[in-house]
Amino acid sequence: MARRRRTSGFEDLVTVLARLPWWVCLAIALVAWLVLHSIATAPVDTSQVLTANDMGSVLRGQMIRAFALVGQYFVPMTCVIAAIASVASRRHRKKLINDVQAATQPGKAIDGLDWRQFEQLVGEAFRRQGYSITETGGNGPDGGIDLILRKDGEKYLVQCKHWRSLKVGVAVIREFFGAMAVEGAAGGFVVTSGRFTKEAQDFASGRNIQLIEGPILKQWIAQHKSQPSKAPPAPTTLVTPEQPQVPSCPQCNAPMIKRTAKRGANAGNVFWGCSEYPRCRGIVSI
């Protein structure tokens, strides 16, 4: 496995900030400048006679002023660079998924990506489904939770496995299910460019974990192009060939999502809920 390039603290800070929307970066830059500039330019009272006990507080005040003098320029500059990186990253993700959709063989285009590009591609695909995306950065090509999705007040987790030659086994799904419990997620997606083992599929069944395999992922990306006028159906309609097909809502005919009752007499039970909730409250028992 190739060694990852070491990065400086400045690069790491820009990377973290660049995961935020560009306007948030600029807002942080403005607030940081106002606060630090006020500290750096605050007048110093030199009329008082200082005692030995006052020297400690004076030194601390001078250190804070020195930090503010530098920070009033450094922190906003870092945030502006992160805002530019955020815009560039957003354009890169759009181009990435558009290139895969336009490719004559989307499968080969996906297989040719590295692990980081694969995560970006999956994130952009979910964003086009109407989810808000938070990138956690993972821990490299074998990382844990890569994306946090939010939609209709619910939180979902995503783990990406860019494994072309190996099948994703049940151990990965067990760890992912534990992460869902810790994070309090309503559900999750494990996305791979390859395949899942039968044991992994069996474990995910009934646990509100959607397994998206390579062939399904390729069809999904090819079909769900950007449609500003009409949002496509939620990706939870995607299932692996071995899983049962997702039913349609009996009230509005929209695809349904596996949900878990959180309260009441049926707390803990799994059921099919309409993907258009709360506009439609159709349910189907499992």
Domain regions of the chain by residue span: 9-43+56-102, 128-223, 256-285
**pLDDT (mean) for 267-274:** 77
> Taking 70 as the threshold, does the pLDDT of residue 119 lie above it?
yes
What does the mean pLDDT of the chain come to? 78
> Which pLDDT score, from 0 to 100, does residue 264 have?
67
> Which pLDDT score, from 0 to 100, does residue 174 have?
93
> Which pLDDT score, from 0 to 100, does residue 226 have?
45
**pLDDT (mean) for 118-139:** 82
**pLDDT (mean) for 86-110:** 76
> For the chain, what percent of residues have pLDDT higher than 90?
28
Q: Tell me: the pLDDT tens digits for 1-34?
A: 444 455 677 888 888 888 788 899 999 999 999 9
Full-model pTM: 0.58
* CATH number for the segment(s) 128-223: 3.40.1350.10
If you write DSSP's letter for every residue of the chain in order, what string do you get? -PPPPP--HHHHHHHHHHTS-HHHHHHHHHHHHHHHHHHHTPPP--SSPP-GGGHHHHHHHHHHHHHHHHHHHHHHHHHHHHHHHHHHHHHHHHHHHHHHHHSSSHHHHHHTS-HHHHHHHHHHHHHTTT-EEEE--BTBTT-S--EEEEETTEEEEEEEE--SSSEE-HHHHHHHHHHHHHHT-SEEEEEESSEE-HHHHHHHTTTTEEEE-HHHHHHHHHH----TTSPPPPGGG---TTSPPPPBPTTT--BEEEEE--SSTTTT-EEEEETTTTT---EEE-
> Which pLDDT score, from 0 to 100, does residue 160 have?
92
